[in-house]
Structure 1
Amino acid sequence: MKTDTVIIGEDGLTRPAWAHANPLMRAYYDTEWGMPVREEQGLLERICLEGFQSGLSWNTILHKREAFREVFADFHPETVAAYGDKDVDQLMADPRIVRNRAKILATIKNARATITLRNEGGLVKFVWSFQPETTPAPQTPADIPTQSPESRALSTALRKRGFSFVGPVTMYALMEAIGMVDTHLVNSHRRGSSGVWG
């Protein structure tokens, strides 16, 4: 059943249309999207996967996520930072992931930048320092921003520290995914579930 803003599932719970694409997307929406990520490895994974998603659908990335985790050693910074040309060639030959050389190289670069960023308190502290003072309260999907002053500032700051594929739209998607902003529609059953926003 559709309403103006969400779809009411057979379980009676309200979700945005994208969360009804398939069981994997629904589980991601119900259990993970919008929940805080406050550990380095998990946050590096999110940043890199948001970069891989650029120009593609999140559904595509989510279906390839386990393969991404396998080939990038669960996004362990030191391991990925040590990847060289031979590793890149192997990744480019792996049909289970998105075979985009620029995005693969960005993941390696981001792992190296993550290690360097430990000198400034670490990736988690750095990213979360851009959390805005307020969060949107969208009634409809059209009310959801695609970027913000904070996502633009975060993008600029990460680029200055050596990160790639971290544009302001990509960083806003990251902020949504990790609960820095709550863009669940106000009548979604997940609104407020992160505990970050009252």
Structure 2
Amino acid sequence: MNKIRVFMNPIEGREKYINQIASEGYRLVKSGSILHEFEKTNSDHKYSVQYVGYMSNTERKKYSDFLKEMNFKVFTAPLNIGKFSLGNVKLRPYNSPKGMIATYPGMINKEILLIESDGNKEIPVFSDRESKNLDINRRKAPYYYLITTSVLLMVLGLFKIIDYKSIILGTFLFILASHGLYKLYSIKEK
């Protein structure tokens, strides 16, 4: 069974959605940015979704292998919708130096990790408050970067250094980033 779903909140929203489908007796076979493939199953499964875009490709592979050794099934999914990459290089200045440059093949289109376990096996992701807060802080970095970029666009547009349309784009990006940060802060409060 194929399902199409766009996530405004790609981590928590995806986790809630996939676990809901799993509770109806389905198992995830393949996950993409908006297309998810499920198969009917008699066994019970749970899923955890984690953002790993801050990791280098080597770190992500080691982490995935570690989870596989613990008998978890691991899927990757892209964070972006409609981004097909072949031979791309992407700069992520908000990441640590090891994860700052993403390439294909590598970390492009593999920013989200989906972890599958048997229904009775607990997934050891963010088992304490400190690790959950660290994850949320890592996920805030791109939003802060986007806010900085949007303010820069608006200022350059106001001083007529670049086209006035940058003010509109900057405002839109600022609203988008502010909404994302608000969502992450509300998750942290829980």
Give the structure-2-normalised TM-score.
0.30
By percentage of residues, which structure has more helix? 1
Higher strand share: 2
Higher relative contact order, chain-length normalized (CA < 8 Å, sep 6+): 1
TM-score by length of 1: 0.29
Higher CA-based Rg: 2
